[in-house]
Structure 1
Amino acid sequence: MYAVGIDVGGTQIKGGVVREDGAILRFRSVPTPREGGEAVFEALLDLVRSLLTNGEGVAVVGVGVPGWVDGRTGVVGHAPNLGWRNVPLRDRLARALPLPVAVENDANVALLGELWRGAARGAEWVLFFALGTGVGGAILAEGKLLRGARGFAGEFGHIPVRREGGDLCSCGKRGCLEAEASGRAIARRGHEAAETGRSPYLAEVLAREGRISARHVAEAASRGDAAAREIFGQAAEALAFVVGGLVNALNPERVVVGGGVSRAGEVLFAPLREALPRYALPEFLSPDLLLPGEHPEDAGVLGAAYLAFTEGRGARGL
């Protein structure tokens, strides 16, 4: 039995044909249309159809979406980075394919991917942070996804880290973690450092490529660029503030940080480990509490496939 797992991101839509043992047989990605709305749905549908062409016998489809998703109904209540509101995604895809479809928040499915084949394997209490274009989060409690009353639990990116001021977040509020520690926030601050001349390395990148990404800022920081290191230090401090509060509240076995920004490695994790004891109770900290995700690029694809396998068989209790 095979599944198609889809991870819809603010920058890319990734998909793969996944076997029941977790092997990804084929992987593809397409840019997320900047105009949002219906264009994103069409790009998503085209990607799924392209993955169905080799005749592996795909039986189910799973999709992770950034935003507020009711996994019971498959309705995307609000995905601000995609321009979606009240989109009945599961039913629309199921009619168009036609195959059984499971839909869930993207951070939830990424946590399932790390639980199935990654850094959360074997744990029952996990906090998962997805650092990408935005900041997502998911909670595993007693081995089950904690979804909340309406399915929206785990919106760590919209926990305030500033009482006043702060940059504008995609949710419309200011001072959220997402506005401080997301790939978009890091890239924006990198662009400012390039334009003001605080980072000669990033100024050269901007002149050559016309844009600054979080990856460029990570490269600059790894080369010792002071402005880039400061940018990652600010992001790590904000992240540690939220991680510490949640560790104190939930006492997890592991805190897994995944998503594309986690590929920055020690540029992110060194200041994060340094800052975390300022906010988390020492009794709750352990050497193996904070871990990078093992699948920063494809945890969402793996988790969406896992969700499809279990939901397609009528399994409950995740």
Structure 2
Amino acid sequence: MEGLVAGIDVGGTRIKAGLVFWDGTVVARGQWPTEARRGPEWVMRRLGREVRALAVQAGVEWRDVVGVGAAWPAFLDLESGWMEEAVNLHWKNVPIRDLMERELGKPVVLDNDGNAAALGETWIGAGKGAASVLCVTVGTGIGGGIVWEGRVYRGALAMAGEIGHLPMKPDGEPCTCGSRGCLETLASATALVRESRRRGLIGPSGSLTVEDIFVLVRQGDERASEVIREATFWLGRGLAAAADLLSPDVIVVGGGVAKAGDLWFVPLDEAFRSWVLPRVARYCRLSPAFLGEDAGILGAAKLAWQSFTEAREAPS
């Protein structure tokens, strides 16, 4: 199929976008602040300008773009195209597909950001060639997506893959979902920073970030090391529960925390294998994400290619 699609990955602080060929080649990319506080209409107007500018960057006409795939950090009604709620954006009940199609003049396919990242990694990333992939993103929260036989598995109400809200610790911290002790309250970047502050840790600059925590681990700080051990214990246990249920070929772990490399993945793999069923463990590998910040862009683009290809092939 000739032409390009636009893949758009919306985050709480930044929007990333790219123009993508059917084989995953990105010919132009850009990013800009989300500025969600300005409201959906304002954000859509800027998004329309920025995404159209990618065509200029790529040296193509906007008419060469056949459609748009968009990943949102939100609960979406995929049939109606409505955003029911985006907690990090502080938006509710937004006709997001209609707004995007009006600004861009192209058909738009929506999904949540966890599903898009999972599809991107399965398409040309760490899960390439695998029949079944669970992708987990560890950042401010913990998101997830499931890809089965090359397609996103969404479940009822498109809620499948919400691994960050697995109930792990009944007396744990309150979660943004309204429950307590969810996995993301124990192993997200937010949880790492919170627990480190409780233990009196201070970063080199006087503040404390996830990067600071790993710097302290490298310097031999036992309190920081214990924070990482506890977080990977809980995440490994959560991944084991998911693996026992799904038995995927690959579990891909990405997000900002994964940038720490072996300091994160070695204890995580040990925890995972201490909990998962041995037969599942023999056929399931744990892998760092490959695509980094491109995962959402590429996954959104793949969603668009799948949708538009099916539309063209459908009998009239």
TM-score under structure 1 length normalisation: 0.87
Answering whether residue 276 of structure 2 is matched by residue 280 of structure 1, we say yes
Partner of 1:251: 247
Matched, 1:112 2:115: no
Deviation at 1:151, TM superposition (A): 1.2
Which sections of structure 1, spanning at least 5 residues, go unmatched?
A: none
Distance 1:47 1:179, change over 3 A: farther
Q: For residues 173 and 51 of structure 1, do their structure 2 counterparts lie closer, same or farther at Cα, with a shift above 3 Å needed? A: farther
Q: Is the aligned partner of 1:17 residue 2:19? A: yes
Q: Deviations over 1:70-113 (max 9, x none)?
A: 33333222221111222221111001111111110111111111
Q: 1:190 touches 1:213 (CA, 8 Å); kept in 2?
A: no
The answer to whether the 8 A contact 1:10-1:134 is kept is no
Q: Which residue of 1 aligns with 2:108?
A: 101
Say whether 1:29 aligns with 2:25: no
Root mean square deviation of aligned Cα: 2.4
- 2:301 alignment counterpart: 305
**3-state DSSP of counterpart to 1:216:** helix
Aligned 8 A contact 2:44 2:103 in 1: no
| Aligned CA distance change for structure 1 residues 46 and 120 (closer, same or farther; 3 Å) | same
The secondary structure found in structure 2 opposite 1:78 is strand
The residue matched to 1:170 in structure 2 has which SS? coil
SS at match of 1:205: coil
**Candidates 124, 147, 153, aligned match of 2:160:** 153
Q: 1:92 aligned to 2:88?
A: no
Listed one character per residue, the Cα deviations across residues 241-284 of structure 1 (whole Å, up to 9, x for unaligned) are 21111111111111111222221211211111111123211111
Aligned-partner Cα distance in 1 for 2:33–2:221: 30
Distance change >3 Å, CA 311–CA 215, structure 1 → 2: farther
Bigger Cα displacement from structure 2, 16-25 vs 117-126? 16-25
Please, what TM-score do these two structures have when normalized by structure 2? 0.87
Q: Which one of 58, 69, 74 corresponds to residue 62 of structure 1?
A: 69
Decide whether aligned partners of structure 1 residues 279 and 315 sit closer, same or farther in structure 2, where only a CA change above 3 A counts.
farther
**As a proportion of its length, which structure holds more helix?**
2
Does residue 294 of structure 1 match 2:290?
Answer: yes
Distance verdict in 2 for CA 1:72–1:232, change over 3 Å: farther
- Equivalent in the alignment of 1:236: 232
> Which residue number corresponds to residue 174 of structure 1?
180
Deviations 1:30-61 (A, max 9, x none): 23336374365555445424434334232221
1:7 counterpart residue number: 9
More moved, 144-153 vs 100-109: 144-153
| CA deviation map 1:119-147 (0-9, x unaligned) | 11111122111112221111123443211
Most deviating of 135-144 and 297-306: 135-144
Deviation at 1:216, TM superposition (A): 3.0
Q: 1:13 to 1:216 in 2, by over 3 A?
A: farther
Structure 1: distance between partners of 2:39 and 2:31: 18
| Structure 1 residues 158-215: Cα deviation after superposition (integer angstroms, max 9, x where no partner) | 1112111x2232223221112222223333444555xx3x34xx1x323xxxx43323
SS at match of 2:131: coil
Q: Quick one: distance in 2 between partners of 1:143 and 1:214?
A: 33
- Find the counterpart in structure 2 of residue 205 from structure 1: 205
SS of the residue aligned with 1:162? coil
User: What percent identity do the matched residue pairs reach?
Assistant: 40
Match of 1:183 among 189, 204, 217: 189
- Please give the alpha-carbon distance, in whole angstroms, between the structure 1 residues aligned to 2:310 and 2:16: 25
Contact 1:5 / 1:15 at 8 angstroms: preserved in 2? Answer: yes
AA of the residue aligned to 1:247:
A
For residues 98 and 68 of structure 1, the distance between their equivalents in structure 2, rounded to whole angstroms, comes to 24
Structure 2 CA distance for partners of 1:215 and 1:11, relative to 1, 3 Å: farther
State how far apart, in whole Å, the 2-side matches of 1:40 and 1:176 are.
31
Distance in 2 (alpha carbons) for counterparts of 1:109 and 1:52: 22
CA 1:147–1:20 in 2, change beyond 3 Å: closer, same or farther? same
